[in-house]
Amino acid sequence: MAIYGNGRIANELHHLFANKKPEQVTIYDLLEFDQMHYDGIAALDVAVEKCQIKEHQHIVDIGSGYGGPSRYLAWKYNVNVTAIELQEEHSNQANELTKYVQLGSKVRHLNADISALDTREYNEKFHVAISLLVFLHIPNRDQLLKNVSSILKLSIGKLFIEDWYCKYSFLPEEVKCLSEKMLCPYLPTKDEYIEQLISAGFGDIEFIDMTESWTTICSKRSEDFYLNREIEIQKHGQSVYEDLLSFYQGVDKLFKNGHLGGARIVATKLR
Ligand SMILES: C[S@@+](CC[C@H](N)C(=O)[O-])C[C@H]1O[C@@H](n2cnc3c(N)ncnc32)[C@H](O)[C@@H]1O
């Protein structure tokens, strides 16, 4: 997944270690760059409230990226997190970051594809699954939701998703941008999304439209990244900077066009 695998974390750590020793690194230092979804830790606090997450529960973070959400939940809410990440490089970097802040006993990093996971080891293990901006990369929703469902506790297991969906029909150039640039080959409509969750055994579904707020966030992210270009180029180099800028501008345009939707979805595993 080239859009995420561009050495960003190594550059951020290099920048951080210019001013700090590794043993001085705090969770706040990492929060500056380790969240890849919108609205950072505010979104995680919402997940905790919506899913009624409690101390010592077992949480699975699906598509955990650099591990930022997993670490924050473990640190702030004292839960145990299994962080499943497809890309080996990300998973290893996430593990390294977790060790810097001494959260290794609370956050376990697992390099795996959620759709191909041997779920027997995790059968009904988790109280809550969170997945932030990941499902948009996974077109086979049947297999995905089957696996997610099987690792959640029956009747009480909660699923918290942040994802894109198809709000209005996409233009041909948007379909191309989504599949080629965003690695997003398929997006369901709201009705299709809910139908897929019900078919997979989920109920009590709350579908919260986040489009307006995420349009604003993505517009600001793109503008800020451009305004801070000198610092960002110094940190990442010209080529990575341009890749990131192009990605941020692409997302900004998709939201502004009005066809792409953003959603926060909460559901319970009922069967
Ligand atoms: C936008 S990033 C979000 C990362 C993290 N959830 C966060 O909010 O910081 C999407 C992540 O999902 C991962 N991913 C995509 N498909 C996956 C799959 N089938 N199984 C596990 N992880 C996956 C990608 O490698 C990437 O790290």
Tens digits of per-residue pLDDT, 242-251? 999 999 999 9
Q: Is residue 110 part of a domain?
A: yes
- Tell me: pLDDT of 3 over 70: no
Q: What is the structure's pLDDT at 7? A: 82
Q: Is residue 92 part of a domain?
A: yes
**Domain assignment of residue 30, given as a range:** 8-269
DSSP alpha helices (H): ranges in the chain? 8-17, 27-31, 40-51, 68-77, 88-100, 141-150, 172-176, 190-199, 211-227, 229-236, 238-257
Which CATH number goes with the domain that contains 256? Answer: 3.40.50.150
Tens digits of per-residue pLDDT, 6-43? 688 889 999 999 989 999 999 999 999 999 999 999 99
Closest residue by Cα to atom 4, ligand 1, is 65
Domain count, the chain: 1
Reported confidence tier of residue 189, pLDDT bands at 50, 70, 90: very high
Residues 157-170 as b/e (b if ≥16 CB within 10 A, e otherwise) read bbbbbbbbbbbeeb
Reported confidence tier of residue 74, pLDDT bands at 50, 70, 90: very high
Residue 67 Cβ contacting ligand 1 at under 6 Å? no
Q: Is residue 34 part of a domain?
A: yes
The average confidence (pLDDT) of the chain is 96
Q: Is residue 2 part of a domain?
A: no
Q: What is the structure's pLDDT at 226? A: 98
Q: What is the structure's pLDDT at 172? A: 98
Which of 38, 41, 85, 135 should be mutated for ligand 1, with most atoms under 8 A from CB? 85
Q: Is residue 1 part of a domain?
A: no
Atom of ligand 1 nearest to the CA of 66: 9
Residue owning tokens 């941020």: 248
Q: Is residue 225 part of a domain?
A: yes
Residue 266's beta-bridge partner residues?
160, 206
Q: Is residue 3 part of a domain?
A: no
- Tell me: pLDDT of 133 over 80: yes
Reported confidence tier of residue 254, pLDDT bands at 50, 70, 90: very high
Q: What is the structure's pLDDT at 19? A: 87
Q: Is residue 96 part of a domain?
A: yes
Q: What is the structure's pLDDT at 115? A: 98
